[in-house]
Structure 1
Amino acid sequence: MKGRKWSLQVTITILVCSVVALSLLVTDLLISRTIAASIEKDQEEKATNVARMVAHSQLVTETLGKQEKESSIQEFAEETRRLTNVQFVVVMDMNKIRKSHPDPAKIGKQFVGGDETIALHGKEHISVSKGTLGTSLRSFTPIFDRKGKQLGVVAVGISLNDVQKAVSQGRKNTYTGTLFGIAAGILGAILLARYVRRILFGLEPFAIAKLFQERDAILQSVREGIIAVDQESRITMVNKTALRLFNKAGLTQDPLGMKLEEYLSNSRLCRILETGKTELDEEMVLNGITLVVNRVPIFLNDKIVGAVSTFRDKTEIQQLAEQLTGVRSYAEALRAQSHEFMNKLHVILGMSHMGYHDKMTNYIKELVNHRNNEIDAITRNIKDPVLAGFLIGKLSHAREADAELNITSERQVPEPLNSYMSHELITILGNLIDNALESLTSCPRKQIEVHFDYGDDILTIEVKDTGVGMEKGMQDYMFERGFSTKGKERGLGLFLVSQSLERLGGDLEISSKPSQGTRFVVYIPYDCKGDTE
């Protein structure tokens, strides 16, 4: 069974308190002895200074040995003792006879302790000894007259209990500082833990680790490629699908840590870092691979800190879309033809009921001849059966819209080498003709001219109408996705035309004026299966 996991706050608190306590403990061990020694040294210096002060006092040097004035020594010594807060100040002669003492009854008696001998030989001395007032720290200083003759000794004592109290007080201050440091460490640890937890959205480390593992598993399992950059456009994350697509496009380097511009020169993800605007379902061609790309900025506290791009391979989707586009166009053409023939059948049926058999016969001949002429003209000049069938359907669609559609060709247009070319041409022609038909709705003269010309491996297609035309300002935006003058959910036709031309490497010219119609000219590199007849 796994042990209980501590919270981030408890972990940081224990860690910080342990570090602080250990540091203070080591500090106490290192300095407590130093403090004790320093306090003892201070007490020794205090006793020595008092002893020297008394020994060099003129009153003591002039009075010592003179019986009639020795009482003044006692007064001076006691006053000094009270002012310096020492235990005793004893002045003795060379026979160790006391001239002063805190207990006047002991004056005239010999000094007790046995540690005064060194001082009687003219040398200062410090010792710890037990006397009539108990154990004390003693400082001995010899007394000399002006001629250098030793007259006696001054003994200044400080109670050892007082020394120990001073040392204990020093250690107590150290312990107080240690406890205060630990308390400050605990408070700081709690505040630090709360701050860190707030930054981590209240999550514990094990929860963050679990989320990271889950996120990594999700990112690696999705079928879309994902790449993320920081605010300096440096790549911070790439999943397996993205690496697979990059390898397919010939990019074999490990992108992590690289600048996005160095790895994907045509990526517009850096623009997201500048604008902060989301871009969805954009197309990008990467070394021949068409990708559908979404780009989203990452905000933190209303500041852009990075961006993420998701993308998928559109090659298979594009092929399916092209097939669906062709099928839809064929279905639309068949629907238009079916509607047209249904109307003509109604005319024939009416003539039959009214007995106009001769007129009915002539009407049918005219229909057959006109139909044959149209089909012959298109199939003779357009050798691609898919494109030819599409154009025949558009003729019926134009008649249904009460418009005149004329299709001509300067030379024969051979069948393209690749079938995808047919689908792209259907997309281009279908949208240009449909736009032309819609522009004729309110015009008295409804005419569309579609002209083909092929030469030097270039296919030229001209689509001209007598519609309402466009202002110059509109022409600058007409190929943008979603731009339309026909309402919402429109604006895809010319965008699809521009996309198809980009894939084919083609070009387009446009000329249009209000109330004077519009003319599109498309130039497309065209690889065919064989020479024209």
Structure 2
Amino acid sequence: MVVPSRRPTLAGQLLAFQLAIIVVVLVAVAALSLAQSAATFNRVEGRRVAALAEQLADNPLVRAQLDAPAPGETLAPLVQSTRTESGITSVTIANARGVVVSSTNPILVGTRLPLGEPGVAEARGWSGELRVDGERELVAQVPVLGAEKGKIGKHLGTVMVGEASPTLWQRARNASSNLILYLGLASAMGLVGSWLLARRIKRQTLGLEPREIAGLAEHREAMLYGIAEGVIALDPHQRITLVNAVGRTLLDLPEECVGRSLAELGIEGRLRDVLTGVDGDGTDEVVLRRGRVLVMNRMSVTKDGRRLGSVTTLRDRTELAQLEQELGSFRSSTEVLRAQAHEFANQLHTISGLIQLGDYDEVVRYVDALARHRESLDLTLTSRVHDTAVAALLMAKSAQAAESRVQLRVSERTSLDRLDPRDSADVATVVGNLVDNAVDAAAAGEAGHNAWVEVELRQDASTVEIVVRDSGPGVAPELAQEVFSHGFTTKAAQEGERGIGLALTRLVCKRHGGEVAVTNTAAGAAFTARLTVGHPVAVVEANR
């Protein structure tokens, strides 16, 4: 079985990288110190050997003996004493032809003097590094000139004084007496610092290695962009730190929204309150945004007692809300049929009881009264509401309201013509939602058996106005401006529960270029909705 090789940890990689940097820095520092030591040696020793060479070239004995036969024997003691007294490496004297006549290195005697540059043979001075007998020395070559008054003397020869260049180890030792100590301390501090940095990064990455961090990032991307819900994350300063494609679409955010604050993106009002946690507990909050009904759930994120921000999920319930309304219509029809069945059963029981008592005249009067009431209601609706769908809805809502001991009546000022089927459906939706909320409010009020709901429909050339009044307790003033954006129903306004009936009502009105509002009257609450009908209307923003 092949055992996979163990990869170095992130802390190990960082430590090795830091150690490599420390080694490079130490080498650079050592090289700089050595270069500085060499420059100091060349400057100081160069001056010394030049001074010694000039002093020796100006010695009268040297001038006198260079032209004499066998000058080496006479100059040898002077050369040795100069070397001994000054402590330099070598002293060499050559004649005008460049032949060494005396030197502290006997091997050079009789050979040609190595020249630093050709000008030395023409009585010019020179100093610098030169290889002498295989060894590199710092030398100074000074011409020996004859003493003649009023003019430059004759070139008699050349004096060369040299000092051996130090080795690399000698330069390192001479660079600084504490250089090794400094390098050692720097190395120790670098090692400790690298180890502490590696531990800190290990803690900050929660002990994860680079491949594990990359895997988490890939899984996060797959999760965020693979789910059908929107996700948006904020930091404590209300800046967007993360948002997936669904969330960006639902909130209508630009592509470059990450890193920008909610204020910069123009998010205000109810949506901002939900995202920042100002409004509610963050659970199933209903918000209208650009014609969509959104349900949002917010959760704060903290770690080690430190607040990191929040994450909010979004679901688009626009289509679901419409389906709920359609199901509500079927449910309402079922409730109407049940109420009518109950009402008919009571009426039949009354008729049956009168027959058993033999009061046939009362039976006739009772049946006639029921017929007149039905005809009166039908006549009122059909004479004032000519749209079949809306009239049928009001008939059904009347029976349903009666089941809740609430009287549903149609205002005498009501007048509605037949509408386009699409406009009729939307008007019926608004009427149904407002009547349902009004019936709930009236039934929960203190009017008792005198509870009522009044519907008034008015129409002009392009607008339908719907006014629904009730005898309920009204809407709290602090909720009057927010009840539609929050998605409250009138019942929810009393009990604190959430709904989307009024939110959908406002959405339909906005879609038709209208609006819905609520005011409190002496008797209860009055909801007024306006819709433009008869021609297409551009969809406008429902709620920012």
What band does the TM-score fall into relative to the shorter chain?
0.5 to 0.7
Give the 5 Å matches for 1:256-295.
256-257=255-256, 268=267, 277-278=276-277, 280-285=285-290, 290=292, 292=294, 294=296
The answer (yes or no) to whether the contact 1:512–1:519 under 8 Å persists in 2 is: yes
Q: 1:488 is matched with which residue?
A: 496
Do structure 1's residue 345 and structure 2's residue 348 form an aligned pair? yes
Partner of 1:502: 510
User: Amino acid of the residue matched to residue 329 of structure 2?
Assistant: G
The Cα shift of 1:450 comes to 1.9
Match of 2:441 in 1: 435
Query: What is the alpha-carbon distance in structure 2 between the residues aligned to residue 466 and residue 237 of structure 1?
Result: 46
Give the structure 2 partner of residue 99 of structure 1: none
Aligned partner of residue 395 in structure 2, secondary structure: helix
**1:398 alignment counterpart:** 401
Residue number among 378, 381, 385 corresponding to 1:378 in the alignment: 381
- Which residue of the partner structure matches residue 388 of structure 1? 391
2:11 pairs with 1:12:
no
User: Aligned equivalents of 1:500 and 1:293: distance in 2?
Assistant: 18
Amino acid at match of 2:532: P
Q: CA RMSD in A?
A: 6.1
**Deviation of the 1:13 alpha carbon:** 1.0
Structure 1: gaps spanning 5 or more residues:
56-76, 88-110, 119-123, 130-135, 142-155
Please give the TM-score of this superposition, normalised by the length of structure 1: 0.64
- Give the C-alpha shift of residue 433 in structure 1: 3.8
The 1:6–1:293 alpha-carbon spacing in structure 2 relative to 1, beyond 3 Å, is farther
Match of 1:436, SS state, is helix
Q: TM-score, normalised by structure 2?
A: 0.63
Q: Show CA shifts across 1:61-89 (max 9, x none).
A: xxxxxxxxxxxxxxxx9xx99xxx999xx
Residues 432, 463 of structure 1: 8 Å contact kept: yes
* AA partner of residue 34 (structure 1): A
Query: Does the CA contact (< 8 Å) of 2:457 and 2:466 recur in 1?
Result: yes
CA distance in 2, matches of 1:478, 1:270: 13
Q: Which residue of 2 aligns with 1:411?
A: 415
Q: Counterpart of 2:408 in 1: which secondary structure?
A: strand
Is 1:7–1:204's contact at 8 Å kept on the other side of the alignment? yes
Aligned mates of 1:405, 1:411 — CA distance in 2: 17
Residue number in structure 2 paired with 1:106: none
Deviations 1:305-344 (A, max 9, x none): x9767453734x2431231232232233223323322332
Aligned AA (1:449): E
**Once the 2 structures are TM-superposed, how far is the Cα of residue 471 of structure 1 from its aligned partner?**
6.7
Which residue of structure 1 aligns with residue 212 of structure 2? Answer: 207
Distance 1:270 1:433 in 2: 30
Residues 1:454 and 2:430 aligned together: no
Equivalences for 1:120-159 in 2 at 5 Å? none
**How many Å separate the matches in 2 of 1:211 and 1:33?**
50
Query: Which one-letter code corresponds to 1:10 in the other structure?
Result: G
**Match of residue 34 from structure 1:** 35
Q: Tell me the secondary structure at the aligned position of residue 302 of structure 1.
A: strand
Structure 1 pair 256–264 and aligned structure 2 pair: CA distance change class (3 A): farther
- 1:527 corresponding residue in structure 2: 534
Q: Distance in 1 between matches of 2:138 and 2:516?
A: 111
Task: Work out whether residues 293 and 312 of structure 1, in 8 Å CA contact, stay in contact via their aligned partners in 2.
Answer: yes
Q: Report if aligned partners of 1:402, 1:446 keep a CA contact under 8 Å in 2.
A: yes
**Is residue 463 of structure 1 aligned with residue 471 of structure 2?**
no
* Aligned residue number for residue 190 of structure 1: 195
Residues 240-294 of structure 1, C-alpha deviations (whole Å, 9 max, x = no match): x568x58xx9x9xx953368999999862799789962464422126xxx35264
In structure 2, the residue matched to 1:98 is none
Do the aligned residues in 2 keep the contact of 1:448 with 1:464 (CA within 8 Å)? Answer: yes
Change (3 A) 1:444 1:189: same
Note the residue ranges of structure 2 that are not aligned, 5 or more in a row: 57-81, 90-105, 114-124, 143-160, 537-544
Match of 2:337 in 1: 334
Cα separation, 1, equivalents of 2:243 and 2:518 = 44
Cα displacement (A) at 1:459 = 1.7
Pairwise CA distance, 1:489: 2.0
Count residues in correspondence: 488
CA drift of 1:166 comes to: 4.8
Q: Quick one: distance in 2 between partners of 1:261 and 1:125?
A: 72
State how 1:238-253 maps to structure 2 within 5 Å: 238-239=244-245, 241=246
Note if contact 1:453-1:461 (Cα within 8 Å) is conserved in structure 2.
Answer: yes
1:526 partner letter: V
Return the alpha-carbon distance in structure 2 between the equivalents of residues 225 and 382 of structure 1: 44
3-state SS of 2:8 partner: coil
> How many Å apart are 1:297 and its aligned residue?
8.7
Are residues 285 and 477 of structure 1, via their aligned partners in 2, closer, same or farther at CA, if it must alter by over 3 Å? closer
Percentage identity across paired residues of the two chains: 21
Alpha-carbon distance between aligned partners in 2 of 1:274 and 1:366, rounded to the nearest angstrom: 56
Shift of residue 209 of structure 1? Answer: 0.6
Distance 1:281 1:259, change over 3 A: same
Distance 2:259 2:20 in 1: 45
CA distance in 1, matches of 2:360, 2:264: 73
Query: Is 1:21 paired with 2:20?
Result: no
Moved more, 367-376 or 216-225: 367-376
User: Where does residue 362 of structure 1 map in the other structure?
Assistant: 365
Q: In 2 relative to 1, CA 487–298 (structure 1 residues): closer, same or farther, beyond 3 Å?
A: closer
Deviation at 1:9, TM superposition (A): 0.5
Closer, same or farther: CA 404–157 of 1 in aligned 2, 3 Å: closer
Aligned-pair CA distance for 1:456: 1.0
Partner of 1:74 in structure 2?
none
CA distance in 1, matches of 2:510, 2:352: 50
Give the corresponding residue for 1:322: 325
| Contact kept? 1:284, 1:293, Cα under 8 Å | no
Structure 1 position 436, deviation (Å): 3.5
Once residues 509 and 409 of structure 2 are traced to their aligned partners in structure 1, the CA distance between those partners, rounded to angstroms, is 23
Matches for 1:28-177 after TM superposition, within 5 Å: 30-31=31-32, 34=35, 37=38, 41=42, 44=45, 166-167=170-171, 169-170=173-174, 177=182
Say which SS state the counterpart of residue 486 (structure 1) adopts: helix
Structure 1: distance between partners of 2:273 and 2:405: 51
Instruction: Name the stretch that deviates more: 367-376 or 378-387.
Output: 378-387
Aligned mates of 1:258, 1:474 — CA distance in 2: 32
Secondary structure of the residue aligned to 1:411 is coil
Measure, in 2, the Cα distance between the counterparts of 1:325 and 1:266: 37
Instruction: Determine the C-alpha separation between the residues in 1 that align with 2:41 and 2:34.
Output: 10
Paired with 1:269 and 1:292, the residues of 2 have a C-alpha distance of 15
Tell me how far apart the structure 2 counterparts of residues 324 and 210 of structure 1 sit (CA, whole Å): 45
Mapped partners of 2:273, 2:375: distance in 1: 60
Q: Equivalent residue of 1:328, what SS?
A: helix
Q: Is the 8 A contact 1:333 1:390 kept in 2?
A: no
- Cα shift at 1:213: 0.8
CA contact (8 A) 1:482 1:489 kept: no
CA shift, 1:11, in A, is 0.9
SS of structure 1 residue aligned to 2:465: strand
